[in-house]
Amino acid sequence: MKYYFPDDYDGFSCLKGQCRHTCCAGWEIDIDPETWQIYQELPGPVGVKVRASVTRTDDAVSFRLDQNGRCPMLNEDNLCTLILAFGEDALCDICTDHPRYRNFFSDRVETGLGLCCEAAARQTVYRKTPYLLRLAKEEPGGAPLTEEEERIISFRANMAAIFQRENVPYEKKEEEALTLLPKFRWPGAEKDLLFLMKLERLDKAWETSLLRLGAAHGRSRNHPDWDGALSQLAVSFLYRHLPDAAEDGLLNARALFSLWSVQLIDAMTMTDDLDDLAETARAYSAEIEYSEDNLKACFSYLNACFL
């Protein structure tokens, strides 16, 4: 089995207390069984607090969020009390892993960084070099790729290569990439807005962002790196979402979703500041990519676009 990581993976670093959108608030935080056994033995006041701050059911143990949706171990400086007391090894699996995601093929596991993390979103839009997966290690096991997996990997590489070309406007890249798909018809901004407004929401402020879509058509950008940043977002979406087409058969819809997502993020960003683009991408990812129901609804919505 082969294990692949982005070539800039080691450059990722949590913003800790400087993060404006901590992953320790607003999300369910399940505690894996092995870590829960460790937590039952933690000494001192922090150990007592951990054990008093969980909800237990027959199937799971999770942190009980406070009235503001914050993890009880998150202090007033937005730092984790567990890390401060015992180090990062004291984190449960989900906290250790976030914002990493993994895609699985017969012969490999691909790890990536999810855009819902502020640091990962910034790292993506400021990236200057083509996105590359590098082989980090290889272990016994695995099986040969299936024909469908080979087709998906080849299709992804071809579409990503278009967006990784230098000195080509993003619109030209998008136009070329869309020729790899069957005939389709975009729903249009009005239908997009109506559809998106019906999806579940994590943050009430998301509605304000969505309402920007109607006034964004035709906006020009003056930032010299804007096209490059949009291209990096497109590649990020392609690498994250195309592999699961082996399970649901929605390769075309997932590819279209990747480019549609960039259109929406671009339209909802009100300035020509890459920091603002990264923040819009982060919010979009949190609202869409990290809601299984929303993601499935988007794939279905776009799959209906093909003629």
Query: For residue range 92-103, what is the model confidence (pLDDT) as tens digits?
Result: 999 999 999 999
* End-to-end Cα, the chain, rounded Å: 39
Q: Tally the C-alpha atoms within 13 A of residue 228's C-alpha that lie toward its C-beta.
A: 16
- Which pLDDT band, with edges at 50, 70 and 90, does 36 fall under? very high
In the predicted structure, residue 17 carries a pLDDT above the cut 90 = no
Q: What is the pLDDT of residue 216?
A: 55
* DSSP reduced 3-state for 257: helix
Residue whose C-alpha is closest to residue 237's, from 147, 129, 71, 120 = 120
Contact of 268 with 284, CB cutoff 8 Å: yes
Please give the pLDDT value at position 177. 98
CB 287 within 8 A of CB 210: no
Q: What is the mean pLDDT of residues 43-53?
A: 94
Residue 203: predicted pLDDT? 87
State the DSSP string of 255-294. HHHHHHHHHHHHHH--SS-HHHHHHHHHHHIIIIIT-HHH
Average pLDDT across the chain, whole number: 94
pLDDT attached to residue 215: 63
Q: Residue 18, class by beta-carbon neighbours within 10 Å (0-12 exposed, 13-18 middle, 19+ buried)?
A: exposed
* Distance (Å, whole) CA 122 – CA 52: 36
pLDDT classification of 210: cutoffs 50, 70, 90: very high
The whole-number pLDDT of residue 20 equals 87
> What is the predicted pLDDT for the residue at 182?
97
pLDDT of residue 219: 62
When pLDDT is averaged across residues 233-253 and rounded to a whole number, the result is 98
pLDDT (0 to 100) of residue 211:
87
Q: Report the alpha-carbon distance of residue 144 to residue 108 in Å, rounded.
A: 9
| Averaged pLDDT for residues 60-89 | 92
Contact (CB, 8 A) for 19 and 80: no
The three-state (H, E, C) secondary structure of 163-178, written as one string: HCCCCCCHHHHHHHHH
Which helix or strand (DSSP H or E) is residue 162 part of? helix 147-163
Whether the bond into 99 is cis, omega within 30 of 0? yes
Q: Which of helix, strand or coil describes residue 33?
A: helix
Residue 34 burial (10 A CB sphere; 0-12, 13-18, 19+): exposed
C-alpha to C-alpha distances, 294 to 162, 223, 286, nearest whole angstrom: 28, 31, 10
How many Cβ atoms from other residues are within 10 Å of residue 176's Cβ? 14
pTM of the model: 0.92
SS3 250: coil
Q: pLDDT band for position 222 (50/70/90)?
A: confident
Q: The tokens of 192 are what?
A: 């997009």
Q: Is the pLDDT of residue 28 over 80?
A: yes
Q: Are 72 and 64 in contact (CB under 8 A)?
A: yes
Strand partners, 210: none
Instruction: Kindly tell me if the per-residue pLDDT of 138 is higher than 80.
Output: yes
pLDDT tens profile 192-207: 999 999 999 988 889 9
